[in-house]
Amino acid sequence: MNTGMLCMDCLYPVSVDNPDCKHSLEKFVQKNFSKNFSVLKKVLNHLKIYGYEIDYREIGKDIVFDAAHKTRIHLTVIYVKHGFLFNARFPLDKNKFKENEGKIYKTVVEMNRTPDIVSFTIDKGDFVAIAWYPNYYTKSTFDDFLEMFTELVNFALRKHDDFLNFLLTKN
């Protein structure tokens, strides 16, 4: 699968599926994240093992990795200094948002009152769950992080089940 991006060396479409291709996602990551390649590669491979399809795009100076899954929460991974930001975006129904904006923001504030690794916000018409993961990898720590992130997002949505009415999809 091509990513929609072109190789900066030869303008050939960059491939996600073929790690031997000189235009592969792995080569792209290695070139652009040379200092942190090892951890980033392990995190992305871990997601692939769990059935996520990885794609990436450039937003300004950042490279954003999109991890889509058939049954799990879709994730976006952005490398930041000393780690990674993971987020899950849930589109809000624009009409319901306009009608219930105060209630929606109040619910998001309520969700953030419980101290844990996930914070919640509204951004560009989406409900967003965000967590930071350090630039460190072991299978067990990343498994724990991924499970906790998913559980905390699901818990917040179950606890405020009326909030689900404002979402277009459950991601």
Q: What are the structural domains, with CATH classification, of the chain? A: 1-32 (no CATH), 35-166 (3.30.1460.70)
Q: In degrees rounded to 5, what are phi and psi of residue 36?
A: -115, 15
- Tens of pLDDT, residue by residue over 63-82, are 789 999 999 999 999 888 78
> Which pLDDT belongs to residue 161?
86
**Closest CA relative to residue 139, chosen from 67, 51, 46, 40:** 46
The sheet carrying 62-68 orders its strands as: 53-59, 62-68, 75-80, 83-91, 126-134, 119-123
CA distance 38 to 42: 6
33-42 contacts, C-beta under 8 A, 24 or more apart = 33/63, 33/79, 36/79, 36/135, 38/137, 39/135, 39/136, 39/137, 40/79, 40/84, 42/137, 42/142
Looking up tokens 């996930």 gives 118
pLDDT average per 10 residues of sequence, the chain (171 residues):
52 55 60 66 90 86 87 90 89 92 93 88 93 93 95 91 82 49
Torsion of CA 64, 52, 124, 161, to 10 degrees: -150
pLDDT value for 82: 81
